[in-house]
Amino acid sequence: MSTSVNTLLSRADTDSVTTLTLNHPPANTLTPELLVELEGAFAALARDATVKAVVLTGAGRFFVAGAEIRVLAGIASSKDGMEMALRGQAILSRIEALEKPVIAAINGACLGGGLELALCCHIRIAAESARLGLPEITLGIMPGFGGTQRLPRILGRSKATELILTGDLISAQEAKALGLVSQVVPDADLLRQVQGLARRIASKGQMAVRTALRAIHQGEATGLSEGLALEARLFGGLCESEDKKEGLTAFLEKRQPRFKDR
């Protein structure tokens, strides 16, 4: 295993899984500096062919408690506010577009910009003690890093609107019932279970993983018929891959496949 630490973000690599840990005590708030480090880390992960899956988590009792209040308080013009929102949206959209699975291990409070960060991850798994919500409305503002767009697409318009307009927080168990997270696990087991899931995905043929992620991500921006056409094109492309031949041959020979990611 190799480990590296930036000022606010640490990276640990085990086999083909990278774990990024937000480390900005006490609450891992999304400062401009932390956003810059996130942007750089994911740009590096996109270029690193040895990385096949990414786990994103927080240090301490928080995943991310939201944006830095002092930074928000210092914004006094609509121009500066829009620029901040566009900057955050662009970074989170690049994370969402990564063609390697990004799994949020939500270890604690996941609020405001923290939930918006989790929403751009491909899979979300929460610790039993986690609390989630978009409380911006209680500060006289609204979500600005994609929360008003991603949350309704995940929960449906009615419940998402309720949560955004009340600022209410929900438990991990309620988040699972709503489909906001896919699993809730004991706090002490969270990272082990999420890293295990990441390794399971990393063991698959990466051409298929990348292509499936592309179909899901690009298909969300289209209508059903366009999405189905995209799926058919991408499926057809995989039918010419070495991994497809190896996967089917291994199945017929009753052995584990040895994918070469091509």
Q: Which fold has domain 206-252?
A: Lyase 2-enoyl-coa Hydratase; Chain  A, domain 2 (1.10.12)
CB 101 within 8 A of CB 213: yes
Nearest to 129 by CA among 31, 63, 73, 219: 63
2-202: CATH class: alpha beta
Strands 183-185, 123-127: pairing kind: parallel
Model pLDDT, residue 4 = 60
The residue behind tokens 């209040």 is: 69
Tell me if residue 246 is catalytic: no
The residue from 128, 136, 174, 231 that is catalytic is 136
Residues of the chain with pLDDT under 70: 1-6
CB-count burial class (<10 Å; 0-12, 13-18, 19+) for 46: middle
Q: Tell me, rounded to whole angstroms, the distance of Cα 89 from its chain centroid.
A: 13
Model pLDDT, residue 67 = 84
How far is 180 from 119, CA to CA, in rounded Å? 8
Radius of gyration (Cα) for the chain, nearest Å?
Answer: 19
Strands 183-185, 109-111: pairing kind: unpaired
pLDDT tens sequence across 239-250: 999 999 889 998
How far is 251 from 57, CA to CA, in rounded Å? 35
Model pLDDT, residue 5 = 58
Domain ranges within the chain, ordered by starting residue: 2-202, 206-252
- Which residues are paired to 10 by β-bridges? 5, 21
Cis bond leading into 26, ω under 30°? yes
Model pLDDT, residue 70 = 87
Model pLDDT, residue 68 = 84
Model pLDDT, residue 3 = 62
Tell me if residue 116 is catalytic: yes
The residue from 37, 83, 99, 116 that is catalytic is 116
131's enclosing H/E stretch is strand 131-133
Q: What is the pTM of this model?
A: 0.94
Strands 9-14, 2-5: pairing kind: antiparallel
- Rounded (10°) CA dihedral 98, 148, 130, 135: 140
Q: Where are the alpha helices (DSSP H) in 48-77?
A: 69-73
Model pLDDT, residue 2 = 60
Token pair listed for 9: 């973000």
Model pLDDT, residue 151 = 98
Model pLDDT, residue 246 = 87
CB 169 within 8 A of CB 156: no
pLDDT tens sequence across 162-218: 999 999 999 999 999 999 999 999 999 999 999 999 999 999 999 999 999 999 999
Q: Which whole-number Å values give the CA distances from 11 to 42, 68, 96, in the listed order? A: 11, 22, 19
Q: Sort residue 15 into left (φ over 0), alpha (ψ -120 to 50) or beta.
A: left
Fold agreement between 2-202 and 206-252 = no
